[in-house]
Structure 1
Amino acid sequence: MPQYRLEFTAALEIFAQICDAMAARGFTRPVLVGGAAVEFYSMGFITTGDFDLCSPAQDALEEEFQRYGFVRPSGPGRATRGWVHPDLGLGFEVVGDMPLDGAVTRDHIALVEDFENGPPFAIISVEDLIADRMGQYASGTAREMLAQAKTLLRLHPEADMDYLERRVRHETGGDFGADDVLDRQN
């Protein structure tokens, strides 16, 4: 079992409880995307300061945030669109209705059912996460994302390379493919 930071583990446990509460209310579980998904799949090798989520039921999700003690930071220099749990120091933000603007189907959203014996939570697939990192890299605004994509693939050699090829091509406008993510020694 990977050794995650204590605050990350605590945040995932609360996230799983919120996912369970949303499911109990008849909503789909919010999906973990972005940096926290990278931290999860990299087994703590790459760390983050926030949890980006996708949910079509943002109002209900924000009600659950409040029930679980999250607050919106306020005051000078504290403007944010997200929520912070005072004990965790990590922000949670709803970044969209669907992961990657709907390019990800429910078939490619993983359900993590065995984390710290808690309820299950939903997370974007590692292939879609790698494709997202490559899309950011291809945009020219986040050159460090290539290293994240390579690290994720190195840690997950079981990734579906055919699906990864399609997703990387889609996210990069055809400029890159799965071969560009493979770690090759020159």
Structure 2
Amino acid sequence: MEELSSKFGILAEISEKFPKNKKPVLVGGSAVEFYTRGTCKSIDIDVLGDRDSLEKVLEKMGFSKTGRHWFYTKEIGIEIVGDSTEGRRVNEILHEGKLIRILSIEDLIVERLNACKHWKSQYDCEQAQVLAGAYSDKLDREYLRKRMKEEDLEMELIKI
């Protein structure tokens, strides 16, 4: 759990540098790792946010860029995978008193199913199933169906 805590500690420190509505949004495997409390692991931190602003903050904090990733330590890399959360829901959580924005469970399931379908990634299929199972009583199923339809994932719903 220490690795999990340090990932979110790093993200919380980065997020502190931005106003509330401009904070980066955690997506991808580390978001799954958060929601599954470390059951599913990720090796990097994927975020959505303004690339130029994020890169400036990362540089000021002492991160260095190697390929697509920004590293402070060689164990944890940060990748800026996009800039918009338009059409998606974002949850806000407090980590050690600091606000972190994270993609909703429903949108994360859609993200994982897209990888499952288009990249033929069995691991992403399994992550979608784990999330859907763990949060089945909390999911906004109407919103999930709408998002899956938008992404042409109706058939993937059968898998979860």
**Structure-1-length-normalised TM-score:** 0.78
Match of 2:5 in 1: 9
Q: CA deviation at 1:63?
A: 1.5
Larger Rg: 1
- Percent pairwise identity: 29
Q: How does 1:29-44 map to 2 (within 5 A)?
A: 29-44=23-38
Flag the structure with higher strand content: 2
SS in 1 for 2:47: strand
Preserved CA contact (<8 Å) 1:134 1:172 = no
CA-CA distance at 1:8 after TM superposition: 2.5
Compared CA separation, residues 172 and 143, structure 1 to 2 (3 A): farther
SS at match of 2:17: helix
Query: Which range moves more in the overlay, 41-50 or 153-162?
Result: 153-162
Query: What does residue 133 of structure 1 align with?
Result: 112
Structure 2: state its 5+ residue gaps.
none
Contact 1:112 1:120 in 2 (8 A): yes
User: What residue number does 1:19 align with?
Assistant: 15
For residues 135 and 155 of structure 2, the distance between their equivalents in structure 1, rounded to whole angstroms, comes to 23
**Which residue of structure 1 lines up, in the alignment, with residue 70 of structure 2?**
83
Q: 1:130, 1:168 within 8 Å by CA — same for their partners in 2?
A: no
TM-score by length of 2: 0.89
Q: 1:66 aligned to 2:20?
A: no
Gaps in structure 1 of 5+ consecutive residues: 74-79, 182-186
- Aligned-pair CA distance for 1:68: 2.2
Tell me if structure 2 keeps the 8 A contact 1:54–1:96: yes
Q: Deviations over 1:44-80 (max 9, x none)?
A: 000010111111x21111121122221123xxxxxx1
**Does structure 2 retain, via aligned residues, the 8 Å contact 1:83–1:91?**
yes
- Could you tell me which amino acid in structure 2 is paired with residue 10 of structure 1? S
Number of matched pairs: 159
Q: Is the 8 A contact 1:127 1:163 kept in 2?
A: yes
Structure showing the higher helix proportion among its residues: 2
Partner of 1:77: none
Secondary structure in structure 1 of the residue aligned to 2:18: helix
CA distance in 2 between partners of 1:166 and 1:111 (Å): 22
Indicate the residue corresponding to 1:146 in structure 2: 125
Q: Distance in 1 between matches of 2:145 and 2:119?
A: 20
CA RMSD of aligned residues (A): 1.8
The Cα of 1:140 is off from its aligned counterpart by 4.8
Other-structure match for 2:148:
168
**Aligned residue type for 2:69:** G
Please give the alpha-carbon distance, in whole angstroms, between the structure 1 residues aligned to 2:122 and 2:9.
Answer: 31
Distance 1:33 1:138 in 2: 18
